[in-house]
Homo-oligomer: A and B are copies of this chain.
Amino acid sequence: MKLSNEELARFEREGYLFFPNHFRPEEIEALNSEVPSLYAQHRPENVREKGSDAVRTNFAAHLYSEPFARLARHPRMVEPVVQLFGEPVYMHQFKINGKMAFDGDVWQWHQDYGTWKADDDMPEARAMNVAIFLDEVNEFNGPLMFIPGSHKLGVLDAEHDTSTTSYPLWTINHDTIARLVERGGIVAPKGPAGSMILFHACLVHASSSNLSPWNRVSVYLSLCAVSNHIRRFKRPEYIAHRDFTPIECLPDDCLLKAYPVALPWKNGTPQQALRAEVTA
């Protein structure tokens, strides 16, 4: 998996790349069949929606679920990111976002790097977001919305929104969004389960609520250049990882064959990983 010059130029210009049908149905099924049992667990890695039992986001499944541990090492996902950064990457954040049928709530406009800088002291925006669709994404189940080109402005002023949803987020004010949209518009890549998006850590994005009867579960992985690892351990480790070991890829068929993977959190989250404000 190698990005073409045209793709590299488009990423530079628009801040994202969309790969419909990047993973095959049987590869996605191997992941999907694990989600209900992950979401059913009552562990701190599951953040639920306000006033509902539906899971908004699950953290760090690659440390306690085999199929997701393999996905975290998949060459079709890791190699283009290594190519873009020109150096090895480690897993900074690993989420399975629910956006469940009927209950999936909004994510207000934000940049991920805003949080990584403010909370985690990540030196530069050299971490890539990867979204992998575990369900079809359509116009009705709350697709990711991007403002193309908005990654070029670096880190925008943001306010800490702790009230709108169940998950605190550094969100960007309305005037700024209106200006960015006037210039770049809004796009919402839609496609079948197995599609993948790469998007820049400074690309401004949001997603609407999901009132439809269709779940919209996606995996969001954030792969950080190893030299750019975070300097502050303010957030619990299951949210912002502290293991900067370069990802070593498994073979391309790793979602279909049971290659051995380490599952260090299989029997529960280590006490250390639950603590915030640890000195780096």
Interface residues, chain A, CB within 8 Å of chain B? 101-102, 106, 108-109, 139-140, 142, 145, 174, 177-178, 181-182, 186, 188, 206-209, 211-213
* Distance from A101 Cβ to chain B, minimum over Cβ atoms (Å): 7
Question: Contact at A181–B212, with CB atoms within 8 Å?
Answer: yes
CB < 8 Å neighbour of A211 from B101, B109, B211, B213? B109
| Cα separation A101 to B139 with both chains bound (whole Å) | 18
Question: Contact at A174–B213, with CB atoms within 8 Å?
Answer: yes
| Cα separation A213 to B181 with both chains bound (whole Å) | 8
A-side binding surface: helix, strand, loop or mixed? Answer: loop
Give the nearest-CB partner of A163 in chain B: B51
* Distance from A33 Cβ to chain B, minimum over Cβ atoms (Å): 21
Question: Contact at B102–A186, with CB atoms within 8 Å?
Answer: no
Which B residues are in CB contact (< 8 Å) with A182? 213
| Cα separation A57 to B142 with both chains bound (whole Å) | 24
The residue among A174, A178, A213 with the most chain B CB atoms within 10 A of its own CB is A213
Question: Contact at B208–A209, with CB atoms within 8 Å?
Answer: yes
Give the nearest-CB partner of A180 in chain B: B213
Known: A140-B186, A140-B188. A211 touches B212 (CB 8 A): no
Question: Contact at B211–A108, with CB atoms within 8 Å?
Answer: yes
